[in-house]
Structure 1
Amino acid sequence: MVMRHSAETDIHKMLDERSGEIFRRIVESYLEHGEPLGSRNLSRILPMSLSPASVRNVMSDLEALGLIYSPHVSAGRLPTQLGLRFFVDAFMQVGNISDEDRASIARHVHRPMHGQSIETMMSEASQMLSGMSRGAGIVITAKNDPVLKHVEFIRLEPTKALVVLVGEHDQVENRIIELPAGTTNSQLTEAANFLNAHLAGSTIHEARTQLERLRREVRQELDLLSQDLVERGLAVWSGGSDESKPTRLIVRGRANLLEGLAGIEDVDRLRMLFDDLEKKDSLIELLNLAEAGSGVRIFIGSENKLFSLSGSSLIVAPYRDSEERIIGAVGVIGPTRLNYSRIVPMVDYTAQLMSRLSR
Structure 2
Amino acid sequence: SAYVILEHFTANAEEKELAEYGMLIWGNMNYQYSEAAMGYASDLSGVTHLSRGWNVPNLVGYMESHDEQRLMYKCLTYGASADNYNIKNLQTAIKRMELAALFFLTIPGPKMIWQFGELGYDVSIDFNGRTGNKPVLWDYYTVIERIRLFKIYKLLLDLRATHNVFHVPVFSYSLSGRQKAVYLSSPEMDVTVVGNFDVAQAVTSVNFQKTGKWYEYFTGDSLLVFSSPATMTLQPGEYRLYTSVKLASPLPYLGIKDIHYSYPDLQVDVYPNPSSGPVTFELFLSKPATVEFSIVNSSGMLLVHSERKKLPEGASVIHWDGRLQNGNQLPAGICFARFRTGGQVKTIKLVRN
The bucket for the TM-score relative to the shorter chain is under 0.3
For CA contacts below 8 A with separation 6 or more, give which structure has more relative contact order. 1
**Computing the radius of gyration over CA atoms, which structure comes out larger, 1 or 2?**
1
Scaled by the length of structure 2, the TM-score of the pair is 0.23
Identify the structure with the greater helix proportion.
Answer: 1
Scaled by the length of structure 1, the TM-score of the pair is 0.23
